[in-house]
Amino acid sequence: MSVKYVAEPFRIKMVEPIKMTTPEERLEKIKEADYNLFSLASEDVYIDLLTDSGTGAMSQEQWSAMFIGDEAYAGGRSYRKLLKAGEDVFGYEYIQPVHQGRAAEKILMPLLLEEGKFAISNMHFDTTRAHVILAGGRAIDNIVPEGKKPEVRSKFKGNMDVAKLEALIAEKGVENIGMIIQTVTNNSAGGQPVSMQNMRDLYAVGQKHGIVVCIDAARHAENAFFIKRDEAEFKDWAIKDIVKEMFSYGDVITMSCKKDFNVNMGGILAVKDAVANDALIQSIKASCINYEGFYTYGGLSGRDLEAMAVGIYQYMDEDYLAYRIGQMEYLAGRLDEAGIAYQAPVGGHGVYVDAKALFPHIPYTEFPGQVLAVELYKEAGIRTCDIGSYMIGNDPDTNEQIESEFEFTRLAIPRQVYTQAHFDVMADALIAIKERAHTIKRGYKINWEPPILRHFQSKLEPIE
């Protein structure tokens, strides 16, 4: 085997036992869960790759900081510490803590969107799309053409198509564009990075037309690593300086800090120019008080704020980021050797296996990404999720199933949790499924689904 694993830049100080299950037990458990992996009990999962959100192993510095959390209801010092760190790293004057990224979306979207308004993104992820719809708006995905082709290996496949953005603004009318969203890295497209030049060009469009540019920044540090590695202008820049430059090309930030801050809970909503955007900030504060809690704690404990204030700096470390991206490259290399297709080159926080390529005979209406997710659990106790037509759901106007640009199964890798041996289990399981893929003739049908974000709760059954 020619693929090299990047050694961890840390030692393991504490371990959590995980249960081994038999194939027979897993068949029963997934049936009891109505073939929805979100419905599995965590103790029945061996390797949990459902998400990298809030599932990482925090550092000793973060755990230590939690002991000095100020749990005051208003004006706590832990809030001021986070505010100072956010201003330093992002260059934004107003930092609003919230309990996670979707809370930032819940607060922001209704302030910018309403019926008849559109949000244009390089690709909306599930909660972002849901909050656009809940606010009355409609979501338009606008990724560069190469981003839609998993087999095409090119840099910055997460970029927005800026020329098409201009065309969309002209088609819909500038007055009907509520916001432009640039997600870094581009989660729905396979964790693919966005270039600094693309961020500059997109922001120039927003400035020209007076449209708010929102950076969905959950994985900003990983994106900065790709910019340093692959964009010549920045090869000698520090990651922190790249991050600040990235955020200069936006007006507001929404962020789940459960990713690149590596905390178990937390999020941020930030506004760049506090003077120019005072009315927006006052509306944000009011909504936060209504939905999250007083604006100096935002639905979080003081200890959470302390862990966030440490994580904002700690996980910009270049040795850590090289290891982090190296884990994805190791797994992707194993899949290359086995001839298993994925969104290539590999992105920052997971490997997105191309389930459509693995099951070309299964139509999107039977959810090939979900088929592979179920098979991975049955094969090795690995929990993953569909990033495809099952996740994207139905058209909000016609209620017809939308065909996704991709039919991926996402192996999202928690931070600082799994070892090389675990990655080999993942690769071996995928290889075993590839060998029997032709025997899996049909996919799944939905017996029950909620009206929005259905993949979290739906009940499915195999189509015989």
Contact 89, 313 (CB under 8 A): yes
Beta strand 252-256 with 267-271 is antiparallel
Percent of the chain with pLDDT strictly greater than 90: 98
DSSP-derived 3-state class of residue 447: strand
Pick the closest to residue 203 from 111, 283, 106, 272 (CA basis). Answer: 272
Residue of 126, 161, 251, 260 marked active site: 126
Residue of 35, 118, 125, 408 marked active site: 125
Beta strand 252-256 with 213-216 is parallel
Contact 365, 389 (CB under 8 A): yes
The tens place of each residue's pLDDT in the chain, 464 residues long, gives: 688 999 999 999 999 999 999 999 999 999 999 999 999 999 999 999 999 999 999 999 999 999 999 999 999 999 999 999 999 999 999 999 999 999 999 999 999 999 999 999 999 998 999 999 999 999 999 999 999 999 999 999 999 999 999 999 999 999 999 999 999 999 999 999 999 999 999 999 999 999 999 999 999 999 999 999 999 999 999 999 999 999 999 999 999 999 999 999 999 999 998 878 999 999 999 999 999 999 999 999 999 999 999 999 999 999 999 999 999 999 999 999 999 999 999 999 999 999 999 999 999 999 999 999 999 999 999 999 999 999 999 999 999 999 999 999 999 999 999 999 999 999 999 999 999 999 999 999 999 999 999 999 999 999 98
Pick the closest to residue 190 from 411, 340, 25 (CA basis). Answer: 411
Query: What one-character-per-residue DSSP string does 130-179 give?
Result: HHHHHTT-EEEE-B-GGGG-TT---S-TT-B-HHHHHHHHHHH-GGGEEE
Place of tokens 């510095």: 61
Contact 463, 443 (CB under 8 A): yes
Query: What pTM value is reported for the model?
Result: 0.96
**428 included as an active-site residue:** no
**92 included as an active-site residue:** no
Residue of 48, 161, 216, 386 marked active site: 216
pLDDT in tens, 253-266: 999 999 999 999 99
**216 included as an active-site residue:** yes
Residue of 13, 73, 236, 397 marked active site: 73
Alpha-carbon distance of 31 to 261, in angstroms, equals 36
Beta bridge partners of 143: 160
Contact 194, 184 (CB under 8 A): yes
- Helix (H), strand (E) at residue 182: strand 177-183
Residue 409, phi then psi, degrees to nearest 5:
-115, 120
**295 included as an active-site residue:** no
Number of Cβ atoms within 10 Å of the Cβ of 231: 18
**125 included as an active-site residue:** yes
Q: So what's the pLDDT on residue 2?
A: 80
Residue of 65, 85, 218, 427 marked active site: 218
Residue of 228, 259, 272, 356 marked active site: 259
